[in-house]
Amino acid sequence: MSEHVYNLLKKHHSVRSFKKEPISEEHIKQLVEAGQSASTSSYLQTYSIVGVQDPEIKEDLKEVSGQPYVVENGYLFVFVMDYYRHSIINEESKSNMETSFESAEGLLVGTIDATLVAQNIAATAEDMGYGIVYLGSLRNDIERVREVLNLPEHTFPLFGMALGVPEDDEDGSPKPRLPFEHVFHQDRYNTDKEQQREALKLYDQTVSEYYQARTNGERSETWSNQISNFMSSKQRLDMLEQLNKAGFIKK
Amino acid sequence: MSEHVYNLLKKHHSVRSFKKEPISEEHIKQLVEAGQSASTSSYLQTYSIVGVQDPEIKEDLKEVSGQPYVVENGYLFVFVMDYYRHSIINEESKSNMETSFESAEGLLVGTIDATLVAQNIAATAEDMGYGIVYLGSLRNDIERVREVLNLPEHTFPLFGMALGVPEDDEDGSPKPRLPFEHVFHQDRYNTDKEQQREALKLYDQTVSEYYQARTNGERSETWSNQISNFMSSKQRLDMLEQLNKAGFIKK
């Protein structure tokens, strides 16, 4: 009965400014090993990890992401959904596995497997004293990422992760999450819209106060504001096309 | 610099037989809290967690999964991709957010977010001394799960997790994972099929020996055997239809 992990994870916040100190090869191996130890759906292991150190490749990925910490970090991972090796087995065994990796089920399995690996790496890295930030922004230009990382068919870059020793002035307070009562449902989902609206109102207040306190009153938006602004901005509408091109979700 | 998490995660193996001991409400709250502390894409928090204790609901879900440990465990979670609360915000703010949660990007974000939460819960539970097993098998009958858990539109049950105190005779050796060199790519993906085939051959040998040692020679299949058998069996081909029905991946 240890509370080490609970206490560690509770402190999590994304770190976006890192010291120049690189992460040692030994630590990278340990991180990948911890990642691979995660559960994997039906033992399929439908992921690969690209470890990026080449400065040119980092620059290219920074252009896709728009974030300076894609270049300025201790290390950069890209997490790839990967059925390439399964497609090699398919060629050898002539067993008609295409449907499996081209189906929506295959997409869910691949996305879930890769994400389990990534989150193990995140927790292990934070325990080692590093900070991490996920980079969904690599999905801004999937074609470019595929080209730069030489990704073959039946693979798909899901997200990146920058990590490293946090800068000393790095500000470390976790953002308030949705209240327990709002995300947790006992036995059956509570669809009551009135209750959800009430809960959101309270949470909006919490988030607004959090921003006000951190910005001396300059920012005060609620969670609902942020969500409606962000989600009405129509992000990455080419994703289905990109998935199709890579051989996913055809069925 | 701690290696606690590394050592913990390296020991991970799925546990499928639990003592009758229930998990306390306090621990459930801590687990959910640790889960919620995970990174979330653009602060969207696109998940809900259903905690199932009702014996009838557990029985229903066991029928879907086919696994006895869906009923026999210390606790049962179902992880749900959830844009229901975002759809409520959308109704209120009239901001045309539909595209966001109906797009393939929305599906990726939702699946990734829910999985990050789940893996935090898995690591925290194992640190507390519990064992866990993921239940992708709940996707065997999405319609039934939706009905039993009262899931509204814009939500989707991704997987479950059974947890509890492991039975004393529970056998705890992690299954061998793909070798580091096979899943890790330095800077650019190595697409060389000949090298991949060679690596798979070696890994096949490792997996075959692992099964032989554990079953006194009764089982000896390779990883490639398992993969080609499993993936040619055409699993859950209704997933795209089910996602569409729930309001996902329409664009």
| pLDDT digits 0-9 by tens, A82-123 | 999 999 999 988 888 988 889 999 999 999 999 999 999 999
d(CA A75, CA A27): 11
Mean pLDDT calculated for residue range A122-146: 98
- Rounded to an integer, what is the distance from CA A101 to the centroid of its chain? 21
Q: Three-class SS of residue B171?
A: coil
Q: Could you tell me where the beta strands, DSSP code E, fall in A14-86? A: 47-52, 75-82
CATH superfamily of the domain spanning B4-168+234-245:
NADH Oxidase (3.40.109.10)
CB contact under 8 A, A150 and B189: yes
Task: Give the model's pLDDT for residue A139.
Answer: 98
How sure is the predictor about B118, in pLDDT bands with cuts at 50, 70 and 90?
very high
CB contact under 8 A, B104 and A41: no
Task: Give the model's pLDDT for residue A85.
Answer: 96
For chain B, what are the domain ranges?
4-168+234-245, 180-220
d(CA A61, CA A64): 5
- Sheet of strand B184-186, all strands in order from the earlier edge strand to the far edge: A131-135, A155-164, A75-82, A47-52, B184-186
Task: Give the model's pLDDT for residue B74.
Answer: 97
Q: Three-class SS of residue A80?
A: strand
Q: Three-class SS of residue B185?
A: strand
Task: Give the model's pLDDT for residue B251.
Answer: 60
B11 interaction partners in chain A (CB closer than 8 Å): 37
d(CA B100, CA A68): 26
Closest CA–CA distance from residue A13 to any residue of chain B (Å): 7
Please tell me which of the candidates B40, B48, B184 has its beta carbon nearest to residue A185. Answer: B48
Lookup: tokens for B158:
């991704």
d(CA A240, CA B104): 5
CB contact under 8 A, B10 and A90: no
d(CA B25, CA B33): 12
Task: Give the model's pLDDT for residue A94.
Answer: 85
Mean pLDDT calculated for residue range A64-68: 97
Please name the residues in contact with B147: beta carbons below 8 A apart, sequence gap of 6 or more: none
Condensed to tens digits (0 to 9), the pLDDT of residues A137-196 reads 999 999 999 999 999 999 999 999 999 999 988 777 899 999 999 999 999 999 999 999
To the nearest whole percent, how much of chain B has pLDDT over 90? 90
Closest CA–CA distance from residue A104 to any residue of chain B (Å): 5
Please tell me which of the candidates B54, B132, B180 has its beta carbon nearest to residue A32. Answer: B180
CB contact under 8 A, A53 and B200: no
Task: Give the model's pLDDT for residue A92.
Answer: 87
d(CA A40, CA B173): 15
Please name the residues in contact with A30: beta carbons below 8 A apart, sequence gap of 6 or more: A124, A128, B6
To the nearest whole percent, how much of chain A has pLDDT over 90? 90
Asked if the model's pLDDT at residue B231 lies above 90, the reply is yes
User: Nearest 10 degrees: CA dihedral of A141, A145, A151, A155?
Assistant: -40
Please tell me which of the candidates B39, B99, B127 has its beta carbon nearest to residue A6. Answer: B127
Closest CA–CA distance from residue A89 to any residue of chain B (Å): 6
Asked if the model's pLDDT at residue A38 lies above 70, the reply is yes
d(CA B122, CA B184): 24
Q: Using alpha carbons only, what angle is made at residue B158 by residues B98 and A112, rounded to the nearest 5 degrees?
A: 100
Mean pLDDT calculated for residue range B43-54: 97
ipTM of this predicted complex?
0.97
Asked if the model's pLDDT at residue A234 lies above 90, the reply is no
Q: Which residue of B has its CA nearest to A129?
A: B1
CB contact under 8 A, B6 and A90: no
To the nearest whole percent, how much of chain A has pLDDT over 70? 100
Asked if the model's pLDDT at residue B225 lies above 80, the reply is yes
Phi, psi (deg, nearest 5) at residue B133: -145, 135
Closest CA–CA distance from residue B101 to any residue of chain A (Å): 8
Q: How many CB atoms neighbour CB A68 within 10 A?
A: 12
Closest CA–CA distance from residue B59 to any residue of chain A (Å): 12
Task: Give the model's pLDDT for residue A95.
Answer: 84
Please tell me which of the candidates B84, B93, B180 has its beta carbon nearest to residue A29. Answer: B180
Q: Which residue of A has its CA nearest to B32?
A: A180
A166 interaction partners in chain B (CB closer than 8 Å): none
Asked if the model's pLDDT at residue B101 lies above 90, the reply is no
CB contact under 8 A, B6 and A159: no
Using an 8 Å Cβ cutoff, are A111 and A158 in contact?
A: yes
How sure is the predictor about B94, in pLDDT bands with cuts at 50, 70 and 90?
confident
* Count of all residues that appear for chain B in the document: 251
Which amino acid appears at position A195 of this protein?
Q
Q: Which residue of B has its CA nearest to A159?
A: B112
Condensed to tens digits (0 to 9), the pLDDT of residues B160-193 reads 999 999 998 877 788 999 999 999 999 999 999 9
Helices (H), chain B: 4-10, 25-36, 55-65, 84-93, 98-102, 104-127, 142-149, 180-183, 193-214, 223-231, 239-245
Mean pLDDT calculated for residue range A233-238: 90
Using an 8 Å Cβ cutoff, are A118 and A79 in contact?
A: yes
Comparing CA positions, the residue from B106, B105, B104, B86 lying closest to residue B96 is B86
Asked if the model's pLDDT at residue B234 lies above 90, the reply is no
Task: Give the model's pLDDT for residue B170.
Answer: 76
Please tell me which of the candidates B5, B115, B251 has its beta carbon nearest to residue A5. Answer: B5
**β-strand pairing of A47-52 with B184-186:** parallel
d(CA B49, CA B57): 15
Task: Give the model's pLDDT for residue A191.
Answer: 97
Q: Three-class SS of residue A238?
A: coil
Judged by average pLDDT, the poorest of B59-68, B97-106, B163-172, B219-228 is B163-172
Mean pLDDT calculated for residue range B119-130: 98
Architecture of domain A4-167+236-245: 3-Layer(aba) Sandwich (3.40)
Asked if the model's pLDDT at residue A251 lies above 70, the reply is no
